[in-house]
Amino acid sequence: MKVSMSIELKDIPGQLVLALQPISDLGGNIRSVLHQRDKKTPSGRIPLQLVLEIEERSLEILVARLKERGVNVVKMGEERLKESMMVLLIGHIVHTDLRETIDSIDSTGFAEVVELSLSMPGVAMKSSASVTLSAIGKEELKEALAILEDTAEKKGIMLIPSI
């Protein structure tokens, strides 16, 4: 089963591995991790969003193991992002603030950048990125793509959607 999970980690070294290891131990497959190291919860912890695939019978064991390790499980449910597509970006992606580009999608609440693969051949050279967008539905995915196209156009980045 595909599960979305929001957890909170202590702000000390080694916590990410501590939280991900039980998933592997139970035969789970991590699909995406959104680790926003610079953001903190009111309790001073680091928020982490996971999408994973795990057998339903192992889910309760996973939550118990996370809690044993001091990881707060804030929210959990079946994956809400049902539609996905990949796009290619070509241009000065990093120099035009890659984070802002990703945030333009993630801040919608209905879509997220769930995978990113970046290639930078040189500091002054154009880079390329493969970006996977996921959204709660087909219309929301179209809207997320439109937002990304607008952001890319403003930054002089070429966007090539998948067919």
pLDDT tens figures, 35-93: 777 788 888 898 888 888 999 899 999 999 999 999 999 888 766 677 899 999 999 99
The domain boundary residue, chosen from 78, 97, 132? 78
Q: Tell me, yes or no, whether 147 and 88 share the same domain.
A: yes
pLDDT in tens, 94-148: 888 888 889 999 888 889 998 999 999 888 899 999 999 999 889 999 999 999 9
- The answer to whether 19 and 9 have CB atoms below 8 angstroms apart is yes
The domain boundary residue, chosen from 14, 46, 78? 78
Instruction: Mark 41-64 as b/e (b = at least 16 C-beta within 10 Å).
Output: eeeebbbbbbbbebeeebbeebbe
Q: Tell me, yes or no, whether 16 and 48 share the same domain.
A: yes
Q: Quick one: which H or E segment has residue 152?
A: helix 138-155
Bridge partners for 48 per DSSP: 7, 35
- Separation in Å, CA 43 to CA 7, 11, 47, 123: 13, 10, 10, 38
The domain boundary residue, chosen from 78, 102, 121? 78
Q: What does the pLDDT average to over 19-46?
A: 87
**How much is the pTM?**
0.55
Q: The domain containing residue 110 runs over which residues? A: 83-161
